[in-house]
Structure 1
Amino acid sequence: MKKFAVVGNPIAHSLSPFIHEGFREQIQGEYYYDKILAPLDQFEATIQSFFAQGGCGLNVTLPFKEEAYRLCEHLTMGAKTAKAVNTLAMKEGKLWGHNSDGIGLVRDLTVNLGLMILSARILVLGAGGAVRGILGPLTVMAPKKIVICNRSFDKAEQLVKEFQVTEGIFQAAAVAELENLGEFDLIIHATSAELSGGELDLPASLVGSQTACYDLFYNQQETAFVSWARRSGAKAAEDGLGMLIEQAAESASFWHDCDISAKAVIDTANNERELFFAGK
């Protein structure tokens, strides 16, 4: 039986085993998917042990994505662009790294939510590792502008320098500039405020009647950003649960060399959210 798992610290909250169970009917052969808690200073030893015992693939979550990137012998283009890895596979004795986060986001935005990225003005709030993972796939969809706003302006500016392939698409902005930026077609939230319980002090002027808002974070209850977006009059406000499921489907496709549809699992998450978060 093939063995797969998600590794992180903490890991008890992970929905990944339940999500991957939902793909079972689309995958040939028996497999098992588990959770692994890796000590903060023993990530490399943990994954070496997993693969030495016959493991086939790992999902990598916080705080190990950058370390996973450094350990890989081969990287997909998505992983190279993101400089972070959330999917590991042992292929012909070599450790491969992939990043499915940005692909998962774009699929959720376009396929599941029906949003248009082509020629869109996009505001990204945050400049951490999660943002690095989504910028490449977003750029491929040819938006008109991507403005990156972060409390530390230097971090936003650094991302702009790294990803500015086509002149003028990317722009860095300070928090103090938000009130003067006007309305956006899409606002993506990726700051740590949600995790720390901090307040979201964002101007409603960012949101117009055709603005869609998307939170990379997710919870059983409505996130603070989604609540703000709805109060501000956004036409759509969604959290990142769909992205989580879509990136899992992309990981499974990478491991099993077949196309995996996330639709059935996303339908379950939308229709039975409480049971979904309970892993039932």
Structure 2
Amino acid sequence: MLDQYAVFGNPIAHSKSPQIHTWFAQQTNQQLEYSAILAPEDDFEASAKSFFASGGLGANVTVPFKLDALVFADTLSPRARRAGAVNTLQKGKNNQIYGDNTDGVGLVRDLTNNLGFSLADKKVLLVGAGGAARGVIEPLLNAGVAQLKIANRTPEKAQQLVKIFHGLQPETQLTSGNWASLEANQFDLIINATSSSLAGDLPPLPDHLFTQQSLAYDLMYSQQATPFMLWAKQQGATQVADGLGMLVEQAAEAFFLWRQVRPKTKLVLERLRPKQD
């Protein structure tokens, strides 16, 4: 039997992960099978236990189970613990389940390797303070940004994240606020980590937030430009991107964790992108 891997989610039929990991396996000559598993919203644990008990070696975890996976894992990577969410599971020695979070690494790799955007000394605005935002803060700090501001409708949630990640990179200015606190600020990179694009909406951001050479990045991926991306273009962002590259890069990090082989992500992105145009 081939080595078994899977992605857990609800819904899950739309997931690109089986295709991505199948291409990774073909490219790297790895003998494995990767499937999509629809887990009950109220019983992720039973589905995950069944998968690993039947020989599963690793899994990706998507909405709404990243917190359930955090609880399910026996041990956690430091970045998963700080992120407060797990998107990658691996069966280790003595059948112990190891939990990791590859989302933030995936974002940084997409920004730097695929989009050619250097994060060093940049002013970054992270919009939203939920799980998606929390998963990308540490890698952004480690990439050497000069400033990282977390803005949220309720500033208390953003301030809580500042407390969690304060001190990881003392040279980075890490602050928080609400929408009004963004007036008269300009950023080199604005990341939309809210779920607004799923509903076809836009966070109530003020105008004139972008610097001369700026990038707008929506963590959601879509066949069309999201409302946030369209707004950013109108506001003068030099570059706009959705989260497809992040999806592929976080998958590659998980694949490397499982197989100790790093696939070439650009080849996979080139195969996925035409489907989006």
TM-score range, shorter chain: over 0.9
Cα 1:35–1:73, aligned 2, differ >3 Å: closer, same or farther?
same
Cα 1:274–1:176, aligned 2, differ >3 Å: closer, same or farther?
closer
Determine whether 1:186 maps to 2:189.
yes
Determine whether 1:237 maps to 2:240.
yes
Q: Shift of residue 74 of structure 1?
A: 1.5
Determine whether 1:67 maps to 2:68.
yes
2-structure distance, mates of 1:17, 1:259: 17
Which blocks of at least 5 consecutive residues in structure 1 are unaligned? 276-280
Corresponding residue for residue 118 of structure 1: 120
Alignment length, in residue pairs?
273
- Listed one character per residue, the Cα deviations across residues 110-139 of structure 1 (whole Å, up to 9, x for unaligned) are 011111111110000000001111001111
Q: For the Cα contact (< 8 Å) 2:104–2:136, is it kept in 1?
A: yes
Corresponding residue for residue 33 of structure 1: 34
Corresponding residue for residue 246 of structure 1: 249
Corresponding residue for residue 278 of structure 1: none
- Listed one character per residue, the Cα deviations across residues 155-210 of structure 1 (whole Å, up to 9, x for unaligned) are 00100111111276210111112223x21111001112112232443222101321
Corresponding residue for residue 14 of structure 1: 15
Which residues in structure 2 correspond to 1:123-134 (within 5 Å)? 123-134=125-136
Structure 1 residue identity aligned to 2:178: A
Which residues in structure 2 correspond to 1:261-280 (within 5 Å)? 261-270=264-273, 272-274=274-276
Match of 2:205 among 202, 205, 208: 202
Corresponding residue SS for 1:219: coil
Determine whether 1:214 maps to 2:210.
no
Normalising by structure 1, report the TM-score: 0.94
Q: Shift of residue 54 of structure 1?
A: 0.7
2-structure distance, mates of 1:218, 1:173: 26
Percent identical residues: 45
Q: For the Cα contact (< 8 Å) 2:179–2:204, is it kept in 1?
A: no
Normalising by structure 2, report the TM-score: 0.95
- Listed one character per residue, the Cα deviations across residues 221-277 of structure 1 (whole Å, up to 9, x for unaligned) are 11111111111111101000000000011111111122222110112223x1248xx
Cα 1:143–1:67, aligned 2, differ >3 Å: closer, same or farther?
same
Structure 1 residue ranges (4+ consecutive) displaced by more than 4 angstroms after TM superposition: none
- Listed one character per residue, the Cα deviations across residues 31-53 of structure 1 (whole Å, up to 9, x for unaligned) are 11111011111100000000111
Match of 1:144 among 143, 146, 149: 146
2-structure distance, mates of 1:27, 1:75: 27
Q: For the Cα contact (< 8 Å) 1:27–1:256, is it kept in 2?
A: no
Corresponding residue SS for 1:220: coil
Corresponding residue SS for 2:176: strand
2-structure distance, mates of 1:201, 1:77: 34
Corresponding residue for residue 91 of structure 2: 90
Corresponding residue for residue 104 of structure 2: 102
Q: Shift of residue 70 of structure 1?
A: 1.5
Q: For the Cα contact (< 8 Å) 1:105–1:243, is it kept in 2?
A: yes
Q: For the Cα contact (< 8 Å) 1:99–1:133, is it kept in 2?
A: yes
Q: Shift of residue 71 of structure 1?
A: 1.7
- Listed one character per residue, the Cα deviations across residues 55-102 of structure 1 (whole Å, up to 9, x for unaligned) are 111100011111111121121222122121100011121101111100
Q: For the Cα contact (< 8 Å) 1:200–1:224, is it kept in 2?
A: no
Q: For the Cα contact (< 8 Å) 1:9–1:63, is it kept in 2?
A: yes
Superposed CA RMSD in Å reads 1.4
Which residues in structure 2 correspond to 1:156-167 (within 5 Å)? 156-165=158-167, 166=170
2-structure distance, mates of 1:97, 1:168: 27
